[in-house]
Amino acid sequence: MSEILKINNLWGGYKEGVDILRGISMEVQQGEAVGIIGLNGSGKSTFGKAIMNMIPIRRGEIIFEGEDITTLTTSQLAHCGISIMQQGGRVFPNLSVWDNLQLAAQGNNSQFSARLCRFARPRILNSQLAEIIPLLQRPQKDLQHLMADKLSGGQKHQLSLAMTLATNPHLVILDEPSAGLSPKVIEDMYEMLRAIRKKLGVTIILIEQNIAKAVDFCNKSELLQQGIILKVVEGENIKGIENIMF
């Protein structure tokens, strides 16, 4: 496997002078699933947002496919092949399911400078998603009339996941994809995530408070506490994590 993402000594936070992330370094290989686990307030979601330049980064660098992307905007990163599914299954409630998908696929129609990102990719809706996500297996005319605000919680998560994958990104950040879901719907979500890894070959950073799910799904999991990585767990070995966390 080749390295797709490298993070060196990353510091950052929401307020000036207050660093939530304190010197995080990690490497992610192509096709891996890497878990970011920890308690509420440990900096997990902040870490995902930092990769997408959604919060101020004060020190460090982020290298994606050999390119320094630390200063690129969130929109530019999306064009480069990085996408994030934010916590809660966010969608546009006043649009139809189909319009949500089209909006995610097309993004900003303004001209994008290839000089900022030599591997910029066209934004085209990935037709394979219907094979993986049950909501999209309905006829197109139904999706064009089904409003997002009429979806159940699980269906909104499905749509949010589909929007995240709509442009066939190389790297996907999933922020608490199981949050607020029932046990049965959580199982369905992880079944979709396994299919995504198998069929799409996408690299995944999984931010998850459900330690057992993350460790079972990922090649390795990194335990984050107060913005610092305390432990790297390989495979399904979770012994000792509870003693560190609690």
Angle at 109 between CA 170 and CA 130, to 5 degrees: 45
- Please give the backbone phi and psi of residue 139, each rounded to the nearest 5 degrees, phi first: -60, 145
β-bridge partners, 64:
5, 67
136: DSSP letter: G
- Please give the backbone phi and psi of residue 233, each rounded to the nearest 5 degrees, phi first: -110, 120
Query: Residues 140-162: pLDDT tens digits?
Result: 999 999 999 999 999 999 999 99
Q: What is the pLDDT of residue 194?
A: 95
DSSP string, 203-245: EEEEEES-HHHHHHHSSEEEEEETTEEEEEEETT--TTHHHHH
Q: What is the pLDDT of residue 118?
A: 52
Give, in order, the Cα–Cα distances in Å from 7 to each of 64, 71, 102, 165, 174: 9, 13, 32, 23, 17
Q: What is the pLDDT of residue 61?
A: 96
Please answer whether residues 39 and 15 qualify as being in contact, where contact means their C-beta atoms are separated by less than 8 angstroms. Answer: no
Please answer whether residues 59 and 65 qualify as being in contact, where contact means their C-beta atoms are separated by less than 8 angstroms. Answer: no
Q: Give the residue ranges of DSSP H helices in 29-88.
A: 44-51, 74-80
Reported residue count of the chain is: 246
Checking if the pLDDT of 59 tops 90, the result is yes
Q: What is the CATH number of domain 3-245?
A: 3.40.50.300
Of all residues in the chain, the percent with pLDDT exceeding 90 is 64
Determine the Cα–Cα distance for residues 24 and 53; give it in Å rounded to an integer.
15
Q: What is the pLDDT of residue 110?
A: 42
pTM: 0.89
32-61 burial code (b ≥16 CB/10 A, e <16): bbbbbbbeeebbbbbbbbbbbbbbebeebe
Checking if the pLDDT of 166 tops 80, the result is yes
C-beta atoms surrounding 236 within 10 Å: 12
Checking if the pLDDT of 121 tops 80, the result is no
Checking if the pLDDT of 1 tops 80, the result is no
Range from 102-111, 118-127, 209-218 that averages highest in pLDDT: 209-218
Determine the Cα–Cα distance for residues 27 and 46; give it in Å rounded to an integer.
18
Q: Which of 230, 217, 176, 211 is closest to 32 using CA atoms?
A: 217
**Reported confidence tier of residue 246, pLDDT bands at 50, 70, 90:** very low
Query: Residues 84-118: pLDDT tens digits?
Result: 999 888 899 999 999 999 888 876 444 444 444 55
Residue whose entry in the numeric block shows the structure tokens 């037709």: 127
Q: How far is Cα of residue 225 from the mean position of the Cα atoms in its chain?
A: 20
